[in-house]
Structure 1
């Protein structure tokens, strides 16, 4: 039964390699990639149910026992993330069918799309640091290809910065892994947790913890290492930008939460206070960037930065309620951010621009598009009864009850500024005088909006069904705060 753990990684990588052989047959690639993402999603949901019912599952490759062999570990948090990544992967793929040109499809778009999902799912399921590095690289190499699809001058220029910062981050990651292995003699996460508890998180291990935090902060776009993100995510097609905006930074956030709840949890007063400070600065400077912009996609890109601050805020507070709020917030943000990027793509398809000052009146000609955006926008801002409110509420409540008033105040301020920037988009793009032509007003958007509808519906469901979903988030948080369960599942005992 535990062999199912490999399937969310094995299926997309196998099919991605197979699709290379069908480069000149786009319809075959579409059919096979559709089957792949739907099958991966179904298996991911089944795996999540299995873990919820039976507890943590492990898979030791080649029957080499941990910590000596490669191991996959499926706990509540990992399977939760795999389900979300598979869901977004499926929706963005179907959206791309209606928007991507045949020229882009011909240059191995579908294989690298599936390779990216392979890297993301592998990063969530792996049980050791070195293979976390490997899956990061699989994900990033695929993203390097996808980010330059179209080959515009802007894309090539900005993707160069994206590649450089991530290559530097990968080198630093490898240095960190080697350094930690030199100190502890292991890269297995469960074994590292044991060794850290034995040695104590001081001196050399503290240095390793900070290096890893820097690496994951680069990947997750935390302050001050977020400068590469807004312009890099502006250039790609909407389907790719939505996939990146929803998933890639969350892999970095997942790694921070995993490492600093399982391994480096001995000196919380230092490491987690530092994480809390980074969270506040990330939220504040990210939302300032969004408020200053007058471009649809740039505003959304800056909001990725501000919103990841809420996720690491939960880790910095380091209580069951706060971490549950962070987990809930990750689900909310992945869903809503993907919806918003795809809706931005629809408006660009109709108007031919993302400049707010050149748009207006879409509410009259495309009301469904307008109201789907409005629901997603106020959800991102945290307006009840949608998912954004119930994901932010536990974080702010916990910050106030534990005496962290400054970070709680920053979170409230960022929520207000997020609402301001989202309303700015709605007023400029959908309200007011119609600026697009009558021919543009007649453009049908049904095929484009159809894949986005499940995301908007999920945001509503996450709000109205907040109690059972938050109960699940609390169970995830409880498991994260009980590293002995993870250690025993991997190493026995």
Structure 2
């Protein structure tokens, strides 16, 4: 049974390798890619239910028991993110079928799409730091290719910045791993947690924790986000949606895993995370309000959500962990939908600045009302999916008496609403500037993935009770690291 836990990573890798040899058969590549992601989603859903019923799943490769061998660990927090990643990437893939273009598809688009999803899922599921580094690199190498496919000048320019930043972050990641192994003699995350508790988090381990905070902040877009808006607005719409939905979540997940399991003994680090989260939300709001480029505004909204969800880590209560778990899933779905809608507007009008567009809702009512729905969800308006996560993070802040974080987190929602409302009022409302002769045909292949994501946004809000047991289990694992440690090492090995 535990063998299933690694399949959401293994299946995309194996299929990606196979698709390299099927380059001329584009339709076959499309079908196999979609089936692979849907199968991965089904396996993740089954594992999530199994974890809720029986406890955390662990797979030891080669029967090497921890802390010596390679292992993958599936708890509710990780598996929820894996499930969301597979579902969202499946829907984005459907959108890519109608928008990517045959020339790009023939340049190994689908293999690298699957490799990126495999790297994301592997990062969520791995149980040791070196494998986390490997999965990060698989994800990043695939993202380098997807970002620059097509070879437009803007893509290449932003691709250089993106590669340099991530190479720097990877170097610091290796540095942190080397220092941590030198200090503790292990890279198994559960074993590291035990040794840190035994040795005490002295100055050396606190310095190492700051290195990891720097690394994962770069990858998540926490404070050091200057590379993100350009990198996420340069590639084609489907790739931008994949980046916006998944990439920052891996950095956020790593921060949550490291600072709820290992480096939990120094309150100063959590205060630093809180300060960084507030500054990130403020910077994201300023960027979202300052620009008129629709893609840039959407990208800055990703930055705001990074700061918001990491307030849950700074607060570190069970309620805030519930809110963060729910908000991460919501953010994957809503950001994918927001990027697809923004890209669709640019495709239909040929313009990127909202003040150059008017009355679009008259020509494309589905796109207009879906944008309005997404705007409300991202801003946290009930009963849509963003509301539940915000309420729980707010409750956690009140419980911990973190009123500054509470105020900053909820003021950021006003910034989100204002930035997206500018797009809606300027681009969709008013007199249309597109005549019937100029109006592009809106194909059903574009509308289907938008509707599917919108249904998830509504369903996750209205049906929040269905997700509640899994969210509670995820929050409990984050709040009580002993559960994770015991599942990995067992009472005897501890």
TM-score normalized by the length of structure 2: 0.97
2:326 is matched with 328
Higher mean C-alpha displacement, 468-477 vs 335-344: 468-477
Q: 1:368-396: per-residue Cα shift (whole Å, max 9, x none)?
A: 11111110111101112211122112222
1:46-445 alignment to 2 at 5 Å? 46-223=46-223, 225-267=224-266, 269-445=267-443
Alignment gaps of 5+ in structure 1: none
Aligned residues: 491
SS in 2 for 1:22: coil
Shift of 1:475: 2.2
Q: 1:415-448: per-residue Cα shift (whole Å, max 9, x none)?
A: 1111111110101111012122423435224320
Q: Distance in 1 between matches of 2:29 and 2:284?
A: 38
Q: Distance in 1 between matches of 2:434 and 2:241?
A: 24
2:11 is matched with 11
Residue 459 (structure 1) aligned with residue 453 (structure 2): no
SS in 2 for 1:260: helix
8 A contact 1:12–1:117 mirrored in 2: yes
Structure 1 468/117 Cα, relative in aligned 2: closer, same or farther at 3 Å? same
8 A contact 1:378–1:422 mirrored in 2: no
Q: Distance in 1 between matches of 2:53 and 2:337?
A: 31
SS in 2 for 1:45: helix
CA-atom RMSD in angstroms: 1.1
Q: Distance in 1 between matches of 2:276 and 2:443?
A: 40
Q: 1:152-173: per-residue Cα shift (whole Å, max 9, x none)?
A: 1011001100000000000110
Shift of 1:471: 4.5
Q: 1:196-220: per-residue Cα shift (whole Å, max 9, x none)?
A: 0001111111111110010000000
SS in 2 for 1:23: coil
SS in 1 for 2:59: strand
SS in 1 for 2:295: helix
Structure 1 162/281 Cα, relative in aligned 2: closer, same or farther at 3 Å? same
Q: Distance in 2 between matches of 1:188 and 1:50?
A: 24
8 A contact 1:351–1:440 mirrored in 2: no
Shift of 1:81: 0.8
Alignment gaps of 5+ in structure 2: none
Q: 1:5-47: per-residue Cα shift (whole Å, max 9, x none)?
A: 1211111100100101111221121121122111111111111
Higher relative contact order (CA 8 A, sep 6+): 2
8 A contact 1:57–1:74 mirrored in 2: yes
Runs of 4+ in structure 1 over 6 Å off: none
